[in-house]
Structure 1
Amino acid sequence: MFSFCIPTEFVFGTGCFKELHKYNLPGKKALIVITNGKSIRNSGYLAELENQLSLAGKEYEVFDGITPNPTTDSIMDAAKTAKDSACDFIIGFGGGSPMDSAKLIALAATNPGNIWDYCQKGSGGRKLPTNQPLPVVCISTTAGTGSEADNSGMVTNPITHEKLGIGFQSLFPVLSVVDPELMRSVPPRLTAYQGLDTFFHLAEGYLSKKANYFNEMFSITGIEKIGAYLARAVIEGNDLEARENVAFANTLGGFVMSTGKLLSQHSLEHILSAYHPNLPHGAGLILISRAYFGFFIDKGLCRQKFIDMARALGNKNASEPQDFLSALDKLLEDCGVSNLTMSEFGIKAEELPAMAKEVRESLAPAFECDPTLLTIEDCAEIYRKSFK
């Protein structure tokens, strides 16, 4: 048995961004949430969004203080800006960081206290919202997080170094716009990181104990798209066919998260980037992926599903679970990211045992959907095998 509701209007396709003024925008004044980088301004995308809002007769305010790993402080600063500027809806414009942040800003803008009060994990306050959040619009300029299709956002508590998700049904975007044209300017390395984040959403969802007919369908279709098109998008960013197919896989990854649950791979990574904010999330997942999936293969678990994923990645003759690891290695090599090391991101071997203990104890629910329950020692071993 399964049940889900994704109450979001999706607009998908090349060129749809420049039709934004025709869509049903949910308020009179938007807080546009972007990162503190320069690309979205230099590309002209922000100017076009402002133009689209003007054509729609909407006012707007821009908040550009979101970092690649958003913090509770930046969420609260943005929520204050939304309230002080009388914004009645939030637009998350960019990749996963601004889209995730938009949802949490929408929550913090209408509810008392700190956003961490509403985190249901770790040291979070476990409060429930008393007021409806502001409506959220997501406009994706990357293909990595699937945030346009889920109801949660990741945030780091800089005091405790916890990087956790906060999610409620009320945080689903009311409108999500996915235009592959906006993704052409993403550099090759970031395209690889983001596309592989998408892949791991799909693979984890497929192996999860919460997998069901819907998200298995989404997962395999998305994995096929990643296998056929991600390396092309990395090599030639202007390949719109590749960009569109990877963007579609990414949105499917969001559906996978909204109709099932991921494995603990994401939690194992989140603690790495919580302590090392310069580590891109996708890169962290790449670093631990071979040891992580290899752990379950060595245990003889999910045999047919690993074979299915190897075939979906392009090895039509796959007949053993190890073929999945070979297909994963090829995908990483084709995308130019097979030789990443923890050391280059400042991670030290002596940190890893404590991280394994912290993630396993503070995020115990994240391990409940794994094919078998990982121990602290198992987590430490996965980190150890991944270190170089």
Structure 2
Amino acid sequence: MSLARNITLHLPKRLEIGAGAVRKVGEWAADARRVFVLTTPHTTEFVARLGLAGEVQVFDAIPGEPDIACFDAALSAARLARPDLVVGLGGGSVMDLAKLVAAMWDGTQSLADVAGPNKVSGRNTRLMQIATTAGTGSEAGIRALITDPGKGNKIAVESPHLLADLAVLDPELTFSVPPAVTAATGIDAMAHCVEAFTNKNAHPVIDGFARMGIDLVGRYLARAVRDGQDTEAREGMMLASFYGGICLGPVNTAAGHALAYPLGTLLHLPHGLANAIIFPHVLAFNESAVPEKTAEVVAALGLSGNLLPAAHRFCENLGVEMRLSAHGAAEDQLDRFAADAHAIRRLMDNNPRDMSVAEVRAIFQAAY
């Protein structure tokens, strides 16, 4: 083990995990007088289960891929509410938005001011993140992504000021997640771990979290898809997602996520689904550059035979529709997808094997 390269590992101040963990929220937040909850229409029903004693304002106008207009609306609503506690109650998009709102509602910085690493000036408001899916691991991390529809890309903000004071992983909140969403978000969690594990910037400490996450996905994702009420499987997947979120901090993802982003910004696919479609292709593309680590991934997921079709079957057997054409993509969009993905250098430069625009285009064609 070589620890020659320094890394910084940020973790939430407190983590509550396990069935019924959400019942501890009210006690922790008992002194909050004004609470601003960001959620979606699908998860607003959980607000009543939080036991919040203060005045609660709910903002639920959050689409699957929040854009600048959504961010502006959430920030305006928060400024009217003047919260002393911000709660992200939902999936990764909701929690990303909650990070930015908590840090920015009482300041003067714009989204353009904070884009990039370490530009957020501070945060005065407590932040609680309550995951209702098992995929992004956003509750664990210091990054937030907002879609810029004008440019067709993601604005990435990274700062320790975006870290949660309390993260809650209660598998009971994921019982109602449909099988297809469970599968796609679970593959996204795995992609975080795999892309960090096989990354040019891989680190032994992060490799440990990645291995645990990949192993949990191999053991529990199919079970969670088959039976949404399987508490053990749901908890295992929430932990896998959390580990994936930790991997994103000091190492980040690579080409897989770079290729997935245009599918969200241009095709409007949910983030987890986009990553699921791309995952087998990039895993197979990178095999020659990181054969030993790829072999570990193969073993953990129980894959056999030629890697690309085996990984494709793994995703397909979970119920994921893997053809871009079935999701509304047109073949004449593939060039734009490839150009946009190749331009995301903050991720593409992490990939263990260099990827040309033509090779990116070939992957989109194969996925089409």
- Find the partner of 2:294 among 300, 303, 306: 306
Letter in 2 for 1:192: A
Whole-angstrom CA distance in 2 between matches of 1:85 and 1:151: 24
**Distance change >3 Å, CA 107–CA 115, structure 1 → 2:** farther
Q: Please tell me the residue identity of whatever aligns with 2:274.
A: G
Partner of 1:111: 107
Aligned AA (2:33) = K
Pick aligned residue for 2:9 from 5, 9, 13: 5
Q: Which moved more, 1:351-360 or 1:110-119?
A: 110-119
Contact 2:90–2:132 (8 Å) recurs in 1: yes
- 1:371 maps to 352
Deviations 1:91-128 (A, max 9, x none): 000111111110122233133253244222xxxxx893
Contact 1:133 1:170 in 2 (8 A): no
Give the match's secondary structure for 1:65.
coil
Distance 1:113 1:220 in 2: 38
Normalising to structure 1: TM-score of the pair? 0.88
| Residues 61 and 341 (structure 1), Cα distance of their counterparts in 2 relative to 1, 3 Å cut | same
Gaps of 5+ in 1: 121-125
Aligned pairs for 1:287-306 within 5 A: 287-297=277-287, 300-306=288-294
Q: Cα deviations across residues 210-229 of structure 1 (Å, max 9, x unaligned)?
A: 21112111111111111111
Per-residue deviation, residues 257-313 of structure 1 (Å, max 9, x unmatched): 123221121121111110122x1112111222222222223xx21011111111111
Per-residue CA shift, 1:9-57, capped at 9, x if unaligned? Answer: 111111110121222578432110012x3x223xx312212xx112xxx
- In the other structure, the counterpart of 1:123 is none
| 1:101 aligns with one of 97, 102, 106 | 97
Equivalent residue, structure 1, for 2:133: 142
Residue 214 of structure 1 contacts residue 259 of structure 1 at CA under 8 Å; is this kept in 2?
no
Native 8 Å contact 2:120 2:161 kept in 1: no
Flag the 1:26–1:116 CA change in 2: closer, same or farther, 3 A: farther
Q: Which residue of 2 aligns with 1:382?
A: 363
State the Cα deviation string for residues 136-158 of structure 1 (Å, max 9, x = none).
21001110110010011111112
Conserved 8 A contact 1:26-1:89: no
Alignment equivalent of 1:166, drawn from 157, 169, 174: 157
| Match among 273, 282, 290 for residue 283 of structure 1 | 273
- Aligned 8 A contact 1:231 1:331 in 2: no
- Counterparts of 1:199 and 1:131, CA distance in 2: 31
Between the aligned partners of 2:327 and 2:309, the Cα distance in structure 1 is 25
Q: Aligned equivalents of 2:82 and 2:137: distance in 1?
A: 29
Q: Which amino acid aligns with 1:376?
A: V
Deviation at 1:331, TM superposition (A): 2.4
Q: Following TM superposition, by how much is the alpha carbon of 1:88 offset from its aligned partner in structure 2, in angstroms?
A: 2.2
Greater mean alpha carbon deviation, residues 344-353 or residues 173-182: 344-353
Counterpart of 1:103 in structure 2: which amino acid? K
| TM-superposed deviation, 1:194 | 0.8
**Unaligned 5+ runs, structure 2:** none
Could you give the per-residue CA deviations for residues 66-86 of structure 1, whole angstroms, max 9, x where no partner exists?
Answer: 111011111111111111121
SS in structure 2 at match of 1:154: strand
Match in the other structure for 1:46: 47
**Which residue of structure 2 aligns with residue 349 of structure 1?**
331
Contact (CA 8 Å) 2:38, 2:94: kept in 1 or not?
yes
Superposition pairs of residues 229-308 of structure 1, within 5 angstroms: 229-277=220-268, 279-297=269-287, 300-308=288-296
Name the CA distance, whole Å, in 1 between partners of 2:11 and 2:217. 26
- Distance across 2 between alignment mates of 1:228 and 1:323: 21
CA deviations on 1:224-277 (whole Å, 9 max, x unpaired) are 111111011001101111111111111111111123221121121111110122
Aligned mates of 1:195, 1:272 — CA distance in 2? 18
Kept after mapping to 2: 8 A contact 1:288/1:386: yes
What displacement does 1:327 show? 4.8
Counterpart of 1:20 in structure 2 is 25
With over 3 angstroms needed to count, the CA separation of the structure-2 counterparts of 1:25 and 1:331, relative to structure 1, is: farther
Q: Report the counterpart of residue 331 of structure 1 in structure 2.
A: 314
Distance in 2 separating the partners of 1:230 and 1:307: 19
**Match in the other structure for 1:201:** 192
Q: Give distance in 2, aligned partners of 1:179 and 1:140.
A: 8
Aligned residue identity for 2:300: A
Cα RMSD, aligned residues only = 2.0
Q: Work out the CA distance in 2 between the residues paired with 1:26 and 1:310.
A: 48
The alignment covers a number of residue pairs equal to: 363
**Residue 73 (structure 2) aligns with:** 77
Partner SS, residue 76 of structure 2: helix
Match of 1:358 among 340, 348, 355: 340
| 1:276 partner letter | L
For the residue of structure 1 that corresponds to 2:322, the secondary structure is coil
The whole-number CA distance in structure 2 between the counterparts of 1:285 and 1:212 is 23
How far off its partner does 1:192 sit?
Answer: 0.6
